[in-house]
Amino acid sequence: MSQSLKLGGTVMKVLVTGSCGLIGSEAVKYYDVRSDLVLGIDNNMRAEFFGSDGDTNWKRKELEAQCKRYRHVSVDIRVKHDVYKVFDEMRPDLVIHCAAQPSHDLAARIPFIDFEVNAVGTLNLLEATREKAPDAVFIFTSTNKVYGDAPNNIKMKELPTRWDYDDSNYVNGIPEVFSIDQSKHSIFGASKVAADIMVQEYGRYFGMKTAVFRGGCLTGPGHSGAELHGFLSYFFKVAFTGKIYTIYGYKGKQVRDNIHSIDVVRAFDEFFMNPKCAAVYNLGGGKENSVSILECIERVESLLGKRIRYEYTDQNRIGDHICYYSDLTKLKRDFPNWSITRSIDDIFEELAKSNYV
Residue 75 lies in a domain: yes
Residue 186 lies in a domain: yes
Instruction: Classify residue 287 by its DSSP letter.
Output: G
Query: In 197-262, where do the E strands start and end?
Result: 209-215, 217-219, 245-248, 255-260
The Cα 36–Cα 329 span in angstroms is 33
- More confident of the two residues 155 and 4: 155
> Can you tell me the mean pLDDT for 238-263?
93
Confidence tier at 9 by pLDDT (50, 70, 90) = very low
The Cα 27–Cα 19 span in angstroms is 8
Confidence tier at 222 by pLDDT (50, 70, 90) = low
Q: Sign of the C-alpha dihedral, residues 64, 125, 13, 218?
A: positive
Q: Which of 100, 126, 125 is nearest to 114 (CA)?
A: 100
Provide the pLDDT for residue 223. 60
Provide the pLDDT for residue 130. 98
Residue 4 lies in a domain: no
Residue 140 lies in a domain: yes
Q: Are strands 156-158 and 217-219 parallel, antiparallel or unpaired?
A: unpaired
Residue 58 lies in a domain: yes
Provide the pLDDT for residue 8. 36
The Cα 354–Cα 5 span in angstroms is 34
What is the extent of the structural domain holding 308? Answer: 13-352
Q: Are strands 209-215 and 279-283 parallel, antiparallel or unpaired?
A: parallel
The Cα 89–Cα 105 span in angstroms is 37
Confidence tier at 344 by pLDDT (50, 70, 90) = very high
The Cα 248–Cα 301 span in angstroms is 20
**pLDDT tens track for 18-67:** 999 999 999 999 999 999 999 999 999 888 888 887 788 999 999 999 99
Residue 342 lies in a domain: yes
Total structural domains within the chain: 1
Residue 2 lies in a domain: no
Backbone phi, psi, residue 206, to 5°: -105, 0
Q: Which CATH number goes with the domain that contains 209?
A: 3.40.50.720
Provide the pLDDT for residue 230. 59
Q: Which of 140-144, 255-259, 316-320 has the weakest average pLDDT?
A: 316-320
pTM recorded for the entire structure: 0.92
Residue 6 lies in a domain: no
The Cα 139–Cα 27 span in angstroms is 11
**Local structure of 156: helix, strand or coil:** strand
The Cα 218–Cα 340 span in angstroms is 13
Provide the pLDDT for residue 229. 55
**Local structure of 7: helix, strand or coil:** strand
Provide the pLDDT for residue 6. 37
Provide the pLDDT for residue 2. 37
Angle (CA) 247 248 251, round 5°:
75
**pLDDT tens track for 262-277:** 999 999 999 999 999 9
The Cα 304–Cα 298 span in angstroms is 10
Provide the pLDDT for residue 204. 98
Provide the pLDDT for residue 236. 86
Cα distances (Å, whole numbers) of residue 23 to 72, 125, 202, 221, 228: 16, 18, 23, 11, 17
Indicate whether 100 pLDDT > 50. yes
Provide the pLDDT for residue 237. 83
Q: Which of 260, 316, 327 is nearest to 287 (CA)?
A: 327
The Cα 225–Cα 269 span in angstroms is 25
The Cα 43–Cα 78 span in angstroms is 11
Instruction: Classify residue 88 by its DSSP letter.
Output: H
Contact (CB, 8 A) for 305 and 237: no
